Amino acid sequence: SQKIEQNSEALNIQEGKTATLTCNYTNYSPAYLQWYRQDPGRGPVFLLLIRENEKEKRKERLKVTFDTTLKQSLFHITASQPADSATYLCALDSSGGYNKLIFGAGTRLAVHP
């Protein structure tokens, strides 16, 4: 069956460092992969989309890589700030059309001053 895995343990880092979150998937060949941010008690908010033919994508302090051979995406936040503390969700196109996404369980990031 289709499966997406993200680090279940919280990631604790010091302010100013680079945070790296991992998303692994099996039994998929997604056309694209997305990352969302979710704050406690709120719905997820879209951050970045990367397509299968793209190796890397950047947006301000965010960088996403997509390795279709390894079936893995890495999400980096450089110069992290306490305001970056949140849960980050990886989502894949399920290939079922209509933008049906399948989500990982998310990784909680805590950035300490």
Among positions 8, 18, 81, 95, the unique one binding another protein when judged by CB under 8 A = 8
Asked if residue 10 binds another protein (CB under 8 A), the reply is no
Residues in 80-99 at the binding interface with another protein, rule: CB under 8 A = 89, 91, 93, 98-99
Residues in 31-60 at the binding interface with another protein, rule: CB under 8 A = 32, 34, 36, 41-46, 49
Asked if residue 103 binds another protein (CB under 8 A), the reply is yes
Cα distance between residue 75 and residue 47, in whole Å: 11
Tell me which residue has tokens 């933008």.
Answer: 99
Contact residues for 18 (Cβ-Cβ < 8 A; gap 6+): 76, 77, 78, 79, 80
What is the enclosing helix (H) or strand (E) of 5? strand 3-6
CB of 65 to another protein, least distance (A): 18
